[in-house]
Each structure stands twice: as C-alpha cells, then as structure tokens.
Amino acid sequence: MMTEISAILNMLEGGFSQFRVLVVGDLMLDRYILGEVERISPEAPVPVIRHAERYERPGGAANVAMNLAGLGCKTFLAGLWGDDSDQAELAKLMESAEIDTTGVLKGSLPTISKTRIIGRTQQLLRLDIESRDKPAPIDLERLRERAVALTSRMHAVVLSDYAKGALTGEICHAVIAAARAAGIPVLVDPKTSDFSKYAGATTVCPNLNELSMATGVPAYETTQLIAAGEKLLDPHQIDFLTVTMSEKGIRILSPGASYHSPARVRQVFDVSGAGDTVIATLAACLASGLQRETAVDLANVAAGIVVGKLGTVPIAHHELIAALTPSSGTASGEKILDFDRVQLRAAEWRAAGETIVFTNGCFDLLHVGHITLLEHCRSFGSKLILGLNTDASVSRLKGPSRPVVGERERARVMAALAAVDAVVLFDEPTPLELIQALKPGVLVKGGDYTVASVVGHEDVLANGGRVEIVPTVEGFSTTNIIKKLTVSA
C-alpha cells in the first residue's frame, strides 16, 4: 500500500500548495442545530429539542473545495449562489479557507441550504431550502464561460454534480474539453444515470448505488455490477472509474485491469461528505502526478478519518500525516528528517492532537539502557522525536575514537525501532535549538538529572509541557561494551 509514501508526505508537508485545482458544481450551505431532547411536545407527538449549539459548514461542491484547501491545494470554485444571507455566510466560509470564488456567480435562485437538527448524535430532522426551478439560461452561460476560462490555469478540475442544476451537459462537456486540451485530469462525482454527460473525463467516481443506476445492475450483485461498470468506459471515453464501495473500500476499474483498496477500518460516526473527501484527495494526488493507485489508497485513509466526525467536515493535511506516520508502519528511511522537515512534521502532529515526546543522545552502540529509555518515552506520549548527535558532535563529547558507528547507520538503526517516529541529526553542543523549534509536550532525559539541569526545560515548561527523568539502567553503556570488546580482543 502506498509505495510512494515519501512523495505523499512531501506533498502533504507543503507540496500540494504548488497545485491549483478548480471545483465546478452545485454549492450548498450545511447548517447544524444541536441540542438535547428531554421530552415529547404536548402539542404533537414530536421530540422537543433544547437548543445548545448552531454552526454552518460548506456543502456540496463547496465542501469538495474545503477538502482541497485542507490538503493545501490552491483551490478555485465555480458555481451559482443566490443574493441572500446564506450566500453571505457561505462566502465568508470560503474566504476564511482562502478559496478563490471568482468563478462563483450570483444567480436568480436562492442559495441552497440544508439544516440538520440533531439531538445528541441522532439526526431528528433535515430542512432543505432550494428552488425547484432550473437556473436561468443566462446564468448557466456565464458559468460555462467562467469555468472554461479558469480551467486553462489549473492542474486538475473536479465536477461536483449534486443534480441541482449547475452542471448541465453543455457545461460538463465544455469543461472536460478544456481540461483535455490543457492536458490536465478532470474528475467527476456523478448524480445522474447517464454517464454520457461526463464523456471524456479522466475518471468518474460513483458509489455502488450510482453505478447501479448507470448500469441497471442491482447494487448488491457486486461482481456483475463491476463487470457492467467496466463496459461504461469505452463508449464514454472515460479513462477509469473509481468506485466507492462503503465498508468494502474503493476499486479502480480500467480496461483490462482493476485495483482494489480495502477500507481503512474506523468507527463510523457520520458518512456525510465522505464522497467529497474522496474525490478531493484523488484530485490533489492526480494534479501532483502521483499514481492513481496511490491516490486511491490515500483517499481511502482520508475517508476513514472524516467518517469518524459529526457532520460535513473536510479533511486536513495534518490528519493524513498523523495517520500515515505510525511508528510501526513507516519505513525507517521515511523517519529520518532534516531540521526543516522535522519542524513541519511536529507542527502537523500537534495540529492533529498528538502528544510529542523529545529525547536525544548519541546512541552509538544500541543497548538495553537505550531501549528502556525509549520505552519510557513512548509511554509519555503518542509521537517520539529522537535528536541524534552527528559524528562531529559525538567526537567533541566522547573523544576522537568515537563514535564507533557512523551517523547515517545510527540514524537508520534508531529509525527502525517501533517506538521512534522521527530521527533528526544535530551538530550543536546541545539540542536546545531543536527543542525550541519542535515545542515538544514532553521532554525526556535519561540519567541522574534534575528537571532544572535538563537543557531546554525552561522552554518546554513555558509552553505548558513537562520534563520526565528516566533513571539509567545500571551496568549498561556504550563505554562498557567497548571495554568488553577490547578485553576480548
């Protein structure tokens, strides 16, 4: 899974910001009213909810844009909204996420909104405000022109079709043709059974029910449904289908081949917006040139994160970094970071709510005392960053005959340990600069120290962290090992 993990982490840690992605589609405002249900109304057999909280989030194509922005992409949005208070609220949310809305036009219809009333975690009622009328032809023509003009400046385009009228066949065909002419991928989230509307797209991303509508094969007959889906590709000149299969994962269907990415098992809390997260992640990956199989794997991880949240919540790149960098599942080479990258990694982990632990040392010849220290470090938090003295630094501390093992080899050995999440070399006499830059929540030192004598303790305590002292394991040290080897020789 995800053989391009290094490229993915590079992208998530700033690289996606190089890419521009346009989302064209139906814009909505999702409103949530939360409270407690304490009784049944005496006026009618309905629950009475005592209001506790209300908030708004972008929905539909606007949520796709929010996911792209959360991944770090430069995001552009094109669509229609009204001239009303919901439009003002949605525009404010887009602005706060730094999403470019020059492609969004004020049409003659009201802004689409969906209000969900939730008691504790149970949705009790949904109120949709939208017109049954179609957008005015002049509004659609202006939208087509604006979307096509923007497409030539992008690295990828997403057509987010919620069947609310913004994505007509003419607009879809025009945007797809412009994207193809520009040599960029165009991805479609479909809401119609006629895939000819999306002819020429790089990929169309239906769920099982949407694929069932397009093929006429029942959604529960998975094998026959997949076979029927493959037959849609050639007539509509679609490069591949990306089929989301709920708890079964995501499957790529392409001529003569397929790829299946199993679902990443998590507790499902709310599936709202999961499809938006999938297509946004796919678009970001394809825009950056990652392989489509890698893109699907990453989209699967992202979807697994957002379904564990209440409501329409976009993915954030720090959440993906935290999910992709468990110490037990990351190759040792991916854990060895330079100063700038370890700063970024630490910032992403903090944003994801991880407790960062920092310790440092020479770790010349690994022994049980080192292992004990690292086990204690792991018990103090969820992410462990190890500051490792360079060869020059070790020589200054231990003498010209040290280290026995070079810094590259020592870094690889330490990074291979399951307890360690990141290794960074430092050449300074102390790791103070690293500690100040990384802002760990827990600073750990092994040996006969007091908190006041540990380098960096002031900074950690000032940031609300703590210092832990792990006693040395008697009888175990690199110096003793070297002495034994010398005597044996």
Among all residues, which ones are annotated catalytic?
276
Sorted by sequence, the CB contacts under 8 Å of residue 157 that are 6+ apart come out as: 21, 22, 23, 24, 151, 175, 179, 184, 185, 186, 187, 283
| Rounded Cα distance, 12 and 71, in Å | 7
Closest CA to 242 of 258, 228, 256, 227: 258
Whether residue 209 is annotated as binding a ligand: the answer is: yes
| Rounded Cα distance, 428 and 323, in Å | 32
Sorted by sequence, the CB contacts under 8 Å of residue 335 that are 6+ apart come out as: 325, 327, 415, 420, 421, 422, 423
Query: Tokens 């699967």 correspond to what residue?
Result: 300
Closest CA to 351 of 379, 327, 385, 315: 315
Give the containing element (helix H, strand E) for 409.
helix 407-415
Sorted by sequence, the CB contacts under 8 Å of residue 424 that are 6+ apart come out as: 336, 337, 338, 339, 342, 385, 386, 387, 388, 434
Whether residue 208 is annotated as binding a ligand: the answer is: yes
Whether residue 221 is annotated as binding a ligand: the answer is: no
| Rounded Cα distance, 225 and 402, in Å | 65
What count of residues does the chain have?
489
Whether residue 63 is annotated as binding a ligand: the answer is: no
Q: Are strands 122-129 and 156-160 parallel, antiparallel or unpaired?
A: unpaired
Binding residues for ATP: 207-210
Binding residues: 207-210
